[in-house]
Amino acid sequence: MGFVTTEDGVDIFYKDWGPKGAQPIVFHHGWPLSSDDWDAQMLFFLGEGFRVVAHDRRGHGRSAQVSDGHDMDHYAADAFAVVKALDLNNAVHVGHSTGGGEVARYVARHGKPAGRVAKAVLVSAVVPLMLKTDDNPEGTLMEVFDDFRASLAANRAKFFRDVPCGPFFGFNRDGADPIEGVIQNWWRQAMMGSAKAHYDGITAFSETDQSDDLRAMTVPTLVLHGEDDQVVPIEASARKSIDLLPNATLKTYPGFSHGMLTVNADELNADILAFVKG
């Protein structure tokens, strides 16, 4: 574990586990969480002989709680600062939700020279664009994101309890069995971060059109999405992304939620491993 300082002076926390000569897998977490959200994946892939790396996005987790730079350009540049400091090559970049947008911007902007990025995996990713517009009628209404901001500003602790109890893991569905430890861990990670970073991050993940980023991702890319994702609906995300990506495969999961990497880790880990080794 350690910190990398970015070009604009932000300290980014990272974890780096496993043999230095092994192929690296770099994990990019979702909003408003931290690298701890990858526990199930980091332990699994470490056990498979990979070098696993994950960082806390600026303003999230243990990284510096700066007031500025909460946008996809800075998110990708911060990830590159970690990759550069650790001299990672032939890496597989795996991103969940907002982290999927970060991976897309990273590969498009920082994926050169050839050989630095081997493959990419987008899980429940926010790309190409979450917001409903005239050109993106399948997207989510601005009023929903305005409600997110209002709820966060009014009582962040309550808002960050309501999200994992409800749509994030599908615990609001009939017959669901909420896992209290999962809910508490989500809340713990979220509350470690900065309210300012989380507030600004809503704009970053909802209003950034990443269609051009996807078109620029020429590396083999695996797109994974739950068909019952209530946070990032599949019709506005994965099913559109697959038409923009030059070299991609889509796999969907009936009944799986936005938080499937946690509650369905065994199945997701096996599919990602098969792609990485394939």
The angle that helices 195-207 and 98-110 make with each other, rounded to 10 degrees, is 70
Using alpha carbons, list the distances in angstroms from residue 91 to 77, 87, 95, 106, 159. 16, 10, 13, 12, 35
> For tokens 């495969």, what's the residue?
249
> Of the listed 28, 213, 229, 241, which one is catalytic?
229
Considering only CA atoms, which of 50, 60, 54 is closest in space to residue 27?
54
Phi, psi of 15 (to 5 degrees): -115, 140
Annotation says 87 is catalytic? no
Burial class of residue 151, CB neighbours in 10 A (0-12, 13-18, 19+): middle
CA–CA distance, 167 with 158 (Å, rounded to integer): 15
> Of the listed 29, 60, 74, 258, which one is catalytic?
258
CA–CA distance, 133 with 145 (Å, rounded to integer): 13
Q: Is 106 left (phi over 0), alpha (psi -120 to 50) or beta?
A: alpha
| Rg of the chain in Å (alpha carbons) | 17
> For tokens 């909460």, what's the residue?
70
Q: Reduce the DSSP state of residue 14 to 3 states and report it.
A: strand
| Torsion angle in degrees (nearest 10) through CA of 123, 126, 132, 138 | -10
Residue type at 90 in one-letter notation: N
| β-pair partners for 17 | 52
> Of the listed 34, 35, 63, 97, which one is catalytic?
97
Annotation says 177 is catalytic? no
Annotation says 258 is catalytic? yes
267's enclosing H/E stretch is helix 265-277
| β-pair partners for 4 | 12
Active site residues: 97, 229, 258
